[in-house]
Structure 1
Amino acid sequence: MGAYVTYQEYLKIRKPIMNTPTGCEFFLDKGAVPEHQISRVVSCDADPLGIQLTLYQYQSCPFCCKVRAFLDYYGLPYNVIEVNPVFRQQMTWSKWKKVPVLLASSDNGFYQLNDSSMIISSIMSLLHDKKKDLHELTKCFPYVSYMKEDGKEVTEILNKYNLMFQDAPVDRTKDYLM
């Protein structure tokens, strides 16, 4: 009985106000993203994805560091745009105000990947199954917004820790993960 009451109190605190089951909110028209000065270009000999990546970040942010380490480890070339931590002019084009944000280009526009865990999950899913496209992949990461007790709206991405595999069985042994 105590767990049920606790769960009911949890639901009162986290009242969903918006649920987006599709990934279309991650797609940006080519004209929607303004040009910013690229702070640094990280290039690699081989590009396993063939997608242009641009990382909006703070240099000292641990979540941005996590994304950079992932991209560097897998040898993915990317551009870095340093966001001014005070004014954040580089992020005015986006509803998502936190960094890191990774812009991945496609033929008809950009896909905005938010949250370090979601960025890593989606790029790792693309590395695992190169036949998958970004539009199909972003549908696997819906987000939900809710109001906290203090009246502040919070947005979270669901499934951000999961790799999205097609129909192929995945070897999830210890050796595969190492």
Structure 2
Amino acid sequence: MRDEREQVELRLVAHASSVELRGRQSVRTTFKLPPRCIDALSLLAGQLGIKQKSIVDHLVDDVQTLHALAQEAVQRQDADGHRVAKTYVISRRTLESLEQVSKRFQAPRDALIESSIERIIPLLREEKRKHEQRKQLRDRLQRLLLDSQELLKKADEVLEDDDPVAGHVAHMVRMVESGCAEVEQIIEKGKRLEDF
């Protein structure tokens, strides 16, 4: 009797694990979205260094919010506007949630995704603001780099090669150069935000 019960429990655990894994399984699906939404999703994924799938899964994972967006989504879909078919990889669970809410509230899936993506627009505006501030700081860092390089030249002129201060100044200049290069990479990564 006990062995039978343990086997049943093991089968239930295995089934639950199987269902969980199937929910995480990736599927491809196509949505018709405004170019602004397509760009927003791509930009945010690039800025945060995560996959678009993760963002979509996260946005749709909050079923209560999805329900609240369903009514807005119906109105949004009726509005005029150019839409582009775009295929995304999302989790099976996300697709199932979208389809369930779509049926329940008679809201097109495309409209639900569009409304969900619209929620990230403020994040992109904030990232764009930070990008502009980073560019201003980069300009000041460039001046710091030039000043430190001049200081190194002066140290080389007045101090001997083995002087510890000359070594420290050279080390500081290398650190400033390295920091400026890293900041430049971050700013280069954010350039796509400038046109958003």
Q: TM-score range by the shorter chain?
A: under 0.3
Of Structure 1 and Structure 2, which has the larger fraction of its residues in helix? 2
TM-score (normalised: structure 1): 0.25
TM-score (normalised: structure 2): 0.23
